[in-house]
Chain A
């Protein structure tokens, strides 16, 4: 499936793994990395971006700006978008974590070559796009040329069967996959998820799977675009064209997972592949619980938190922070009365930002603090102090743990 998109984007009949292609970019999206890309962009000297209609920009890492220097960085991005005629600039107030914003506004479609200035761009591959993350200099080059050189990746298939156990979801599945295959099992490769479990997942769960292919080292994560995708993108008005791998497609490797009856999983400090079933870490005292990030802070995740929190209280001494993945989700949570449930329970609800997930601002961890988080990475120092301990888990497990003050099996909560 990844080869089909790259063949289309490079205007050739077919491509094969290992080949280097120049792909025409259908969508380039950026967050504050644009500020880092301005220097190389100005140096390249094309002055104008190749096509302002193919660019989306939002602010997500530092919203609202915690320092004057970052406020200035935001200004430079605002000015650039205005001068370049980038209409789809989603400023503070209309913002969201960029991957979520791209998904929910229907900016990415099946068959698209999508390039994002962030490692979790993989998430967008859940709509059947080839969506890869890049750094600042590559971003500048794409802005100037509208093209990116790519090595056609080998494709690894992750085939998932079975019906998950109670209060267990895509986050538990992907943690299981990473914990089993390792945090570099898919280095340079494309990961394609197949199987009845994946087909039965709604889009919000499919996004979780593709999102964390980044933690497998993958270039992209993809899922065939089917009826579920079509319905999700229906509001965009974009012509839908299904995509999937051919019957006889070859895969460099296939991992098969039977998740029938599987329970919640937890990635322990300090590597996303350090997996344990929740039973083995139950009772670990926590100081902080965080529900946020591009991985697990969609409206469905917030509904899970509210379901568990209704009539309950966050454990004394624990701070539970809930940060939606976008302003659209924020508004929906308000409408559904979820915010009131969170506040009644003693949780804190904030505006959308990446801040806590990468230890940037709006909730960072002190040395030796223990946190359970619905985010994607737990390397040393990721969420604050290098001695803080971060456990990665699903919204179910995070919320249940917040209520009990220790890592808790949500099936017993």
Chain B
């Protein structure tokens, strides 16, 4: 599993809902490209076009609140966002992202230290993130059972592996 992520940051505020991330009108399909193309359209219609693979999102509290739509993390992952760091996450968004093998990290204090366009260096295994000023922020590592899903590449690969080992 990749544990080092260096990239450009997009910042968002508090209470970013799944309606902000992907509007209900685009959910009438199972095509991830549709979700990706319209990600954050309600905030900035050009956003999805300007994202580069490897970019990271840094946000405030309660990121991903609202609906259970997994299309929200799917949209951001499909665009190539490598990880999301927020002060806190809404619970279903958090689960959905981890289940997709998409790193989501609770990191208090980071939101105030970066602005959009900054480059940050995230060390998932080490539990720290470096911001442009050189400051190194520590965060609490993910709980073991969550990390296990992430390390397997998501819940589906984890379950497949378990089923295969049981069949043997």
Contact = CB atoms under 8 A, between A and B. Distances in A.
Given A33-B68, A43-B160, A137-B70, A73 B23 contact: no
Contact of B163 (A35, A45, A380): A45
Contact of A119 (B27, B41, B66, B160): B66
A103 interface: no
Contacts of A381: 19-20, 23-24, 41-42
Interface string B17-57: 10110011101111000000000011100000000000000
Interface string A343-386: 00000000000000011110010000000000001011110101
Nearest to A140: B156
B30 A39 contact: yes
Given A138-B155, A379-B19, A382-B19, A119 B92 contact: yes
Contacts of B11: none
A62 B20 CA distance: 20
Contacts of B143: 20, 151
Interface in B128-168: 143, 145, 154-156, 159-160, 163
A385 B40 CA distance: 13
A69 interface: yes
A36 B70 contact: yes
B91 A187 contact: yes
Contact of B91 (A46, A66, A219, A384): A219
B65 A217 contact: yes
Nearest to A271: B15
A360 B62 contact: no
Contacts of B92: 119, 133-135
B88 A187 contact: yes
Contacts of B91: 187-188, 217, 219
A49 to B, nearest CB: 14
Interface stretch (A141-149, A160-168, A315-323): A141-149
A130 to B, nearest CB: 14
Most buried by B among A40, A144, A145: A40
B68 A187 contact: no
B3 interface: no
B24 A136 contact: no
Given A45-B160, A138-B96, A141-B159, A360 B27 contact: yes
A183 B70 contact: no
Contact of A118 (B41, B68, B100, B159): B68
Contacts of B90: 184, 187, 217
Given A119-B66, A140-B156, A183-B65, A67 B28 contact: yes
A381 B71 CA distance: 16
Contacts of A217: 62, 65, 90-91
Contacts of B95: 134-135, 138
A184 B145 contact: no
B82 interface: no
A261 to B, nearest CB: 31
Nearest to B157: A43
Nearest to B101: A137
A281 interface: no
Contacts of A46: 163
Given A40-B156, A271-B15, A381-B19, A359 B66 contact: no
A200 interface: no
A36 B75 CA distance: 13
B20 A380 contact: yes
Contacts of A203: none
A45 B167 CA distance: 12
B61 interface: yes
Contacts of B163: 44-46
A117 interface: yes
Nearest to A357: B24
Given A135-B99, A184-B65, A358-B67, 7 more contacts: A40-B155, A70-B28, A360-B25, A360-B27, A379-B20, A379-B66, A380-B42
Interface of A: 20, 33, 35-36, 39-40, 43-46, 61-62, 66-67, 69-70, 73, 117-119, 133-138, 140-141, 144-145, 149, 151, 183-184, 187-188, 217, 219, 271, 358-361, 364, 377, 379-382, 384, 386
17 contacts: A43-B156, A44-B156, A44-B163, A61-B27, A69-B28, A137-B156, A138-B96, A141-B99, A141-B159, A144-B159, A184-B65, A184-B88, A377-B17, A379-B19, A380-B19, A380-B42, A386-B23
